[in-house]
Amino acid sequence: MSKFRIQGGYPLQGAIRPQGSKNEAFQVICAALLTSAAVIIHNIPAILDIEALLALLRLLGVEVEKRSPNSYRIQAQDLDMDAVGTDQLKLYGGKIRGSILLLGPLLARLGKVRLPHPGGDRIGRRRLDTHFMGLRKLGASCSYDAITGTYKVWARQLTGHDILLDEASVTGTANVIMAACLAQGTTRIYNAACEPCVQQLCHMLIAMGASITGIGSNLLTIQGSDRLHGTEHQILPDMIEVGSFISLAAMTQASLTIQHAHCHRLEPILSRFSRLGIQFSLTEDYIHISPQAYYEIEKDMQSHMLTLADAGWPGLPPDMLSIMLVTAIQARGTVLIHQKMYESRLFFVDRLIEMGAQLILCDPHRVHVIGLDRKQPLKGIRMTSPDIRAGIALLIAALSAEGESIIEHISHIDRGYERIEERLQPLGAKIERIA
């Protein structure tokens, strides 16, 4: 299994362009199954999770043509759920969280779908109830076979309905949207997630002939159509990767320009980095971070400690908290990181403590970070990547540390970050992939 060997402590310099959004890619690739016509999608990130999803589509009879390293033509003309065995479904669909996004489009197209329990990061309980509750409201029946670990959903005809989601789940919202596009009548989704990836999904579906209003709000209205047609779609830059690069620049005192970042969509992320004391300039669609001798964490109006907590959009995305946490390690001041959603996501801080960070794991959801103020560098160690975002946080820490670090199980990083070592090496990062 591959590892990263990293020599830390080198300042980085140059420009880098973020990959396409991982979360958007999953949604729009699955949305291509809603039509028998061809859909062309650009800026798809070349990451392991996307490779697994495309392999699963091929098993379902979908024609997947790679037109360039990041562009695909997808045509679901001959969908066949029955041709795929349970073991095959588990081999691909059981690896990735995003396979759950096949529920809505396959149900709408075929009237039935079976999927294994999805994989993905082991960061705590990740409930799926919202997906099934929404599809039931549209007229579907759902069951779970505990022996095979397989979900089955079927419906003779989907019918529009008013749906109140019990949580503003991004993937749950996406599944209901896609199913509702081919349902009879009108569907109103209350408490809908409104993240940029959901907005992009809606815009793509409208380009395919769907009728959707309320985009960007928590109330979506969808008028069902008999059929949708093909389209061409461009995926946005990955805002979590943009945040990762800002953190990397701050921790390594880099002079870094992030190109084509779509800055107008990043306010929830950029404002939190500002509160950590990170200075940057925005020029057109670029973000530039200059080296800072120190950065100081902002306090609130009563001089109380800053708290950074995840929330639904336009709040701070949960995927950013591990990255914010590692950024605060070398700050001046203290901050409380509050991860509300998952109870196992913060356990990787043990490795950061071993590297010399001053952290207190208060409970599974909260970490108190006492900034080192660059008075003491982190030291390189041997560690393991437990999930995608913890993996990139450990990588950032290692690049800022003195000495050599080895990061094992980097397949977790490869699941979310495209050729990360090849893209960082031209900036001066001393990182190599080893067996």
Query: Could you list the active site residues?
Result: 121
- CB-count burial class (<10 Å; 0-12, 13-18, 19+) for 88: middle
Cα angle 26, 28, 31 (rounded to 5 degrees) comes to 110
107 contact partners, CB below 8 Å, separation of at least 6: 113, 135, 140, 153, 154, 155, 158, 179
225 contact partners, CB below 8 Å, separation of at least 6: 181, 182, 209, 210, 211
- Tell me how crowded residue 341 is: count the other CB atoms within 10 A of its CB: 18
The token pair at 194 is 């409104």
User: What is the identity of the amino acid at 83?
Assistant: A
Q: Which residues pair with 282 in a beta bridge?
A: 287
The token pair at 149 is 């670990």
Cα angle 100, 102, 107 (rounded to 5 degrees) comes to 120
Cα angle 25, 28, 29 (rounded to 5 degrees) comes to 75
Dihedral sign, Cα of residue 139, residue 140, residue 141, residue 146: negative
